[in-house]
Amino acid sequence: MSAALPEEPPSPAARRRARELEARTLIEIAHTLDSSVDESQRLTRSLTLLKTLLRCDRCSMLFDADGEGERRLLSVPAVEGEQVAGLEDRLLGLLRALEDNAAVPHESDGHAVALPLVGLDEVRGIVAVERSTDRFTTDEMRLFSVVAAQLGGYLTMLRLNRELVALDRFKREMSALAAHDIKGPLGAVIGMVDFLSLELNQSPDYVRNCLNDIRTACNRIHRVTANLLDLARLESKQLPLQLASLDIAALLATLARHRTAQASFRDIRITVRPAPPGPRARADEDLLSRVIDNLLDNALRYAPVHGRIEMEARWTGERVQVRVGNDGPPVSPVARGTIFDKFARGADGGRMNLGLGLYFARVAMEAQGGRIWLEETPELPVVFGLELPAAATS
């Protein structure tokens, strides 16, 4: 009978290779958790990599992704039948011992080790590895703790992200609700102002100007509430679009005409090129009208007295471009970076402006397969550009 030869310690080269493999696996786990696949795939692949890293038979984790007490079990390889309950019970026992100071279960045979998944100082779950051959070493525990920290951080990020999404949904619903409740009474006010304007058309100028100012302010509030309502629908993809072939030059001319009185108060000249008929784009008429009207409103607010606003539509290959420019002060480089963001405000601090107009314009253009941008030309310091798909020609 011959005695087994003692195992030779690994050579320096073998040790170096092992370290390199460990480092690569840890990096791969970090990339996996940072990838764009869904969370189950990320976690399952991370457990698979952990299984390779620690040469173990099984890796599993029990965690509460939503923070609502419903725990999920993931295992690589997957467990089935009675094994599920057994594994879940063991991990749950450990988790309760950690979270609630419950009694520590006594089931370990030394071949399975586990670590809490901690993030932002809270236990988010537990991860366990099992190996039927040799026991885990201190160095392996160190590696295991690094992976547990990565998983804990990822679970924390998931939780925070879910909380943010829920908060954002609540905020949008509340905004839409408020906008909806304002819209009805506001419509009545506008109707009454129109009625009074007719009744008092022989009144002195200051009375008619006053009514005109009320109507302008009401229309602006109406636009803001409509933006809020449609934004909520656009963001949740619940606004059905009525895409049709539109004469863009005709649309610009109509919108400019509606603003003639407002522009004349400050002697601002609005020009539209070309005269209809012009290029035809495929767009939702109501949505596009509101986008352009928002740009026009913006231009009227910032153009100086005796200033000018120029609106133009033109073909560019299979797209149609619209430009709405004014000779007001240029937008600062800092503001340019955020001008299309929600609640971005202009230089006037956003008087009667919730910072939604340009954000609405961006979302509405993207919903129609278009885009919006800001540019500067030698003639006009502020030019908003829109681009839409051209309408198919018969």
Partner 1 sequence: MNPGMPASPEDRAPTTAADLFGLLWRMLSDMLGSATTATLLRRSRNAVAQRAPELAELQIDREGLEYRYRLPASWLAADAQAVNTMRDIVSELRPLLMELTGAVILNQLDANPTFAESGIIFSR
Q: Given the rule CB under 8 A, which residues bind partner 1?
A: 94, 97-98, 101, 104-108, 110-116, 118-121, 123, 135-138, 141-142, 145-146, 148-149, 152
For partner 1, the closer CB: 101 or 394: 101
- Residue 131 has what DSSP assignment? -
Using an 8 Å Cβ cutoff, are 348 and 301 in contact?
yes
What is the C-alpha to C-alpha distance for residues 64 and 68, in angstroms, rounded to an integer? 7
CB burial of 354-387 (b: ≥16 within 10 Å; e: otherwise) equals bbbbbbbbbbbbebbebebeeeeeeebbbbbbbb
Q: Of 142 and 351, which CB lies nearer to partner 1 in the complex structure? A: 142
Q: How far is the CB of 267 from partner 1 (least distance, A)?
A: 58
Q: How far is the CB of 91 from partner 1 (least distance, A)?
A: 11
Q: Which of 341, 338, 381 is closest to 357 using CA atoms?
A: 341
- Minimum distance from CB of 45 to partner 1 (Å)? 22
Residue 111's contacts (CB-CB under 8 Å, 6 or more residues apart) are 130, 131, 132, 135
Closer CB to partner 1, 113 or 311, in the complex: 113
**Is the distance from CB of 300 to CB of 263 less than 8 angstroms?**
yes
> How many CA atoms are closer than 13 Å to the CA of 56, on its beta-carbon side?
28
State in angstroms the smallest separation of the CB of 34 from partner 1: 19
* Closer by beta carbon to partner 1, 111 or else 282: 111
Angle CA 334–335–339, to nearest 5:
140
* Burial of 208 per CB tally in 10 Å (0-12, 13-18, 19+): middle
CB of 121 to partner 1, least distance (A): 5
Residue 310, SS3? Answer: strand
Count other Cβ atoms within 10 Å, centred on residue 151.
27
Task: Give whichever of 105 and 355 is closer to partner 1, judged by the CB atom.
Answer: 105
Nearer to partner 1, 112 or 296 (CB): 112
Nearer to partner 1, 155 or 311 (CB): 155
What are the φ and ψ backbone dihedral angles of 354, each rounded to 5 degrees? -80, 5
Q: Which is nearer to partner 1, 18 or 102 (CB)?
A: 102
Nearer to partner 1, 21 or 104 (CB): 104
Smallest gap from Cβ 152 to partner 1, in A, equals: 7
For the chain, the straight-line distance linking the first and the last C-alpha, in angstroms and rounded, comes to 94
Q: How far is the CB of 77 from partner 1 (least distance, A)?
A: 22
CB of 70 to partner 1, least distance (A): 22
In the chain, at which residue ranges do the beta strands (DSSP E only) sit? 58-63, 72-76, 112-119, 122-130, 243-247, 269-273, 280-284, 308-316, 319-326, 371-375, 382-389
For residue 271, how many C-alpha atoms fall within 13 Å in the half-sphere facing its CB?
Answer: 8
Q: Yes or no: say if 198 and 212 are a contact pair by the CB < 8 Å rule.
A: no
Find the shortest distance in angstroms from Cβ 145 to partner 1. 4
